[in-house]
Amino acid sequence: MRKSIYQLTLSQVTKSSGLFYALTIACVLMGFTACGGEDGNGGGSTSSSSSSSPSSSSSTVTSLYQLTTFPIGVAVPASNWNNSIIDSPERQQIAKTHFSQLSAENIMKPSYLHPQENTYFWDDADELIDYADANGMSMHGHVLIWHKQLADWMINFNGADAAAWNTMMVDHITTVADHFAGHLQSWDVVNEAFTDGTTSSYRSSIWYDNIGEDFLANAFTAARAEDPNVDLYYNDYGISGDPDKLAMVLSMVDNFQTNAVPIDGVGFQMHIDMYWPAIATIQDSFQEVVDRGLKVKISELDIDIGTETPDADDYQAQATRFQEVVAAYVNTVPAAQRGGITVWGITDSDSWRSEVHPLLFYGDFSPKPALDGFAAGLEE
Ligand code: XIL
Residue 271 CA: nearest ligand 1 atom is: 18
Secondary structure of residue 234 in the 3-state scheme: strand
27, pLDDT greater than 80: no
Residue 146 CA: nearest ligand 1 atom is: 13
| CB neighbourhood size of 349 (10 A) | 24
Residue nearest ligand 1's atom 9 by CA: 106
Q: Does the Cβ of 106 fall within 6 Å of ligand 1?
A: yes
Pocket test for ligand 1, best of 81, 82, 103, 106 (most atoms within 8 A of CB): 106
- Percent of the chain beyond pLDDT 70? 86
340 vs 80, 242, 289, 336, CA distance in Å? 27, 21, 14, 11
Secondary structure of residue 363 in the 3-state scheme: coil
57, pLDDT greater than 80: no
Tell me the CA–centroid distance for residue 84 and ligand 1, in Å: 15
Over residues 115-146, the pLDDT tens digits come to 999 999 999 999 999 999 999 999 999 999 99
pLDDT level of residue 52 (50, 70, 90 thresholds): low
Residue nearest ligand 1's atom 16 by CA: 105
Q: Does the Cβ of 191 fall within 6 Å of ligand 1?
A: yes
Query: Which pLDDT value is given to residue 296?
Result: 99
Tell me the CA–centroid distance for residue 244 and ligand 1, in Å: 23
Tell me the CA–centroid distance for residue 36 and ligand 1, in Å: 33
Q: Between β-strands 19-24 and 11-16, what pairing exists: parallel, antiparallel or unpaired?
A: antiparallel
What pTM does this model have? 0.88
5, pLDDT greater than 60: no
Residue nearest ligand 1's atom 15 by CA: 105
Query: Which pLDDT value is given to residue 51?
Result: 60
Q: How far apart are CA 232 and CA 212, in angstroms?
A: 21
Q: How far apart are CA 332 and CA 334, in angstroms?
A: 6
Is the distance from CB of 186 to CB of 229 less than 8 angstroms? no
The answer to whether residue 192 is catalytic is: yes
Residue 191 CA: nearest ligand 1 atom is: 13
Is the distance from CB of 326 to CB of 377 less than 8 angstroms? yes
Tell me the CA–centroid distance for residue 73 and ligand 1, in Å: 15
**Across 311-320, average pLDDT:** 98
**Three-state SS letters, 135-164:** CCCEEEEEEEECCCCCCHHHHCCCCCCHHH
Tell me the CA–centroid distance for residue 26 and ligand 1, in Å: 37
Q: Does the Cβ of 105 fall within 6 Å of ligand 1?
A: yes
Over residues 249-308, the pLDDT tens digits come to 999 999 999 999 999 999 999 999 999 999 999 999 999 999 999 999 999 999 999 999
Which residues are CB-contacts of 251 (< 8 A; sequence separation ≥ 6)? none
ω into 277 cis (within 30 of 0): yes
Give me the catalytic one of 105, 192, 288, 324: 192
243 vs 50, 249, 250, CA distance in Å? 35, 10, 10
Q: Does the Cβ of 352 fall within 6 Å of ligand 1?
A: yes
Over residues 154-196, the pLDDT tens digits come to 999 999 999 999 999 999 999 999 999 999 999 999 999 999 9
Is the distance from CB of 42 to CB of 364 less than 8 angstroms? yes
Q: How far apart are CA 49 and CA 46, in angstroms?
A: 10
Q: Does the Cβ of 269 fall within 6 Å of ligand 1?
A: yes
Q: Does the Cβ of 299 fall within 6 Å of ligand 1?
A: no
Radius of gyration of the chain (CA): 21
Q: Does the Cβ of 33 fall within 6 Å of ligand 1?
A: no
Q: Does the Cβ of 84 fall within 6 Å of ligand 1?
A: no
